[in-house]
């Protein structure tokens, strides 16, 4: 059993003032800091006058090997803080492999919560946040993008995704082609000096960005779910039956299935309940 503790430390996503007191104190206290990018980490650590005993790289390209190295430190009784370039480890960033390896070895993983671009963008978007899905970065190829978005074509779930500035125009075009010209909010450089929000239909966001000489900065895109169609019923909602069957296979309670899908599709709970009973009998 590992003797040390692995801390997953959430750091600011741009503004150092958003760092929590607990995060700073943890980074000061540990024996080893594992960072996604050691150069970026040194800037943050220097700002808070933190001089780590040992600073090592732990990123997507070396995560499996690095996780084994972290276990060696933990077995020596050293405490480790794992931090990414911005936000919470594991959220489209390294951390998951290390946390899993430490737990599998009987070690302790503690979370030091911090800022994340996902809830920050959701709060700023003005779009419904009761039911949302984070889908990370879209694939690069148009065919793969279409495949990734297809499950959400009729879904009323709000979507949140990350995109790079050099691919955002292509992504907006592909999203509109697959999901329609939905309301959205593009959040750029969250919490930083040049923070920007564009709340508009996807086509308008693309038009505004295309008119610029260049698009710079980190981007989080929030996309509204599909609008409930006039006269939508259990019978003409194409993906409802598949959702019910999938949830029944997970042995979820009938009431839970009814409530979740009534919210998702904007349909009457009683009608969905009848449909569930109908499918259970088949």
- What's the pLDDT at 65? 86
DSSP symbol at 95: T
Could you give the 3-state DSSP secondary structure of residue 112?
Answer: strand
Q: Does residue 229 belong to any structural domain of this protein?
A: no
Shared domain for 145 and 111, answered yes or no, is no
Shared domain for 40 and 58, answered yes or no, is yes
Number of domains making up the chain: 3
Token digits for 40?
């970026």
Q: Does residue 34 belong to any structural domain of this protein?
A: yes
- Give me the residues of the chain with pLDDT under 70, please: 1-2, 228-238, 263
DSSP symbol at 87: B
Please calculate the CA angle 170-173-175 and round it to the nearest 5 degrees.
Answer: 105
What CATH code is carried by the domain that includes residue 216? 3.30.950.10
Q: Does residue 234 belong to any structural domain of this protein?
A: no
- What's the pLDDT at 234? 67
pLDDT in tens, 71-120: 999 999 999 999 999 999 999 888 999 999 999 999 999 999 999 999 99
- What's the pLDDT at 2? 65
pTM attached to this predicted model = 0.78
- What's the pLDDT at 142? 85
DSSP symbol at 85: S
Shared domain for 185 and 251, answered yes or no, is no
Shared domain for 103 and 52, answered yes or no, is yes
Shared domain for 124 and 193, answered yes or no, is yes
Nearest-10 crossing angle of helices 240-249, 269-281:
60
Angstrom distance (rounded) from CA 174 to CA 261: 27
Among residues 160, 166, 199, 159, which one has the least CA distance to residue 183? 199
- What's the pLDDT at 272? 87
Angstrom distance (rounded) from CA 186 to CA 156: 19
What CATH code is carried by the domain that includes residue 58? 3.40.1010.10
Shared domain for 26 and 101, answered yes or no, is yes
Shared domain for 194 and 145, answered yes or no, is yes
Q: What domain range includes position 47?
A: 5-115
Nearest-10 crossing angle of helices 63-75, 96-104:
40
β-pair type (219-223, 183-188) = antiparallel
């Amino acid at each position: 059993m590992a003797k040390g503790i692995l801390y997953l430390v959430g750091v600011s996503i741009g503004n150092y003032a958003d760092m929590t007191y607990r995060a700073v104190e943890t980074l000061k206290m540990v024996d080893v800091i594992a960072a996604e990018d050691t150069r970026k980490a040194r800037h943050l650590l220097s700002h808070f006058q933190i001089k780590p005993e040992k600073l090592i790289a732990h990123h997507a390209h070396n995560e499996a090997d690095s996780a084994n190295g972290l276990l060696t430190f933990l077995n020596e009784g050293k405490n480790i803080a794992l931090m990414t370039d911005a936000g919470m480890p594991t959220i489209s960033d390294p951390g998951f492999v290390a946390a899993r390896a430490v737990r599998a070895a009987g070690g302790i993983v503690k979370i030091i919560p911090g800022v994340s671009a996902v809830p920050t963008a959701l709060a700023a978007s003005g779009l419904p946040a009761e039911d949302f899905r984070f889908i990370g970065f879209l694939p690069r190829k148009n065919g793969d993008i279409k495949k990734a978005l297809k499950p959400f074509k009729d879904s009323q779930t709000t979507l949140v995704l990350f995109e790079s500035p050099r691919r955002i125009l292509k992504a907006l075009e592909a999203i509109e082609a697959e999901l329609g010209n939905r309301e959205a909010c593009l959040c750029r450089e969250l919490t930083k000096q040049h923070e920007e929000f564009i709340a508009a239909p996807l086509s308008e966001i693309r038009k505004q960005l295309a008119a610029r000489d260049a698009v710079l900065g980190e981007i989080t895109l929030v996309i509204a779910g599909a609008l409930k169609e006039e006269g939508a019923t259990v019978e003409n909602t194409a993906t409802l039956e598949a959702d019910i069957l999938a949830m029944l296979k997970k042995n979820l309670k009938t009431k839970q299935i009814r409530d979740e899908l009534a919210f998702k599709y904007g349909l009457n709970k009683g009608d969905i309940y009848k449909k569930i009973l109908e499918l259970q009998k088949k």
